[in-house]
Amino acid sequence: MKTVNLLKALGLALCVATASSAYAQASDAMSAPDAAAAAPSPKTVKKTDRKLGLDVRKALSKAQGFDVSNVFVRARGGAVVITGSVPDGAQIPQAEEVAKGVPGVKSVSNKLTIGTQGGGGG
């Protein structure tokens, strides 16, 4: 019986700690208007993200033997997502390495798959 009560008390303490932590973070964010004022405009952010995505795609196209015809690159705040398909499985880790080497890339999410060119309808 004591174990059950102890577990209940620990669970309650965990809930209180989590809730107060979440509240503290929310109130900190609201009390810092300077951070929002110094942030770049959405238009500038979009332009920067678009340029980073293009830079990664350009780097991939220059990589030895890499086929970018079915590869799509999206960037958001330095986080790059690579999707699409490549004809050779070796190109999947290669794409990630090339993308990580592009200035401005903070992280890479590689969602490439192996696929044949032209839709593979044979």
Classify 42-120 by CATH class.
alpha beta
- Which residue from 67, 72, 70 is spatially nearest to 50, judged by alpha carbons? 72
The pLDDT score that the predictor gives to residue 115 is 87
Give the global pTM: 0.63
Residue spans of the chain under pLDDT 50: 120-122
Number of H helices and E strands in the chain, helices first, is 4, 3
Q: For the purposes of burial, counting CB atoms within 10 Å of the CB of 100, is it exposed (0-12), middle (13-18) or buried (19 or more)?
A: middle
CA 63 – CA 91 distance, rounded (Å)? 10
5/3 Cα distance (integer angstroms): 5
Which of 109, 47, 101 lies closest to 73 in space, CA to CA?
109
Indicate the domain borders of the chain: 2-38, 42-120
What are the tens digits of pLDDT across the range 36-59?
A: 557 788 899 999 999 999 999 999
Which pLDDT score, from 0 to 100, does residue 39 have? 77
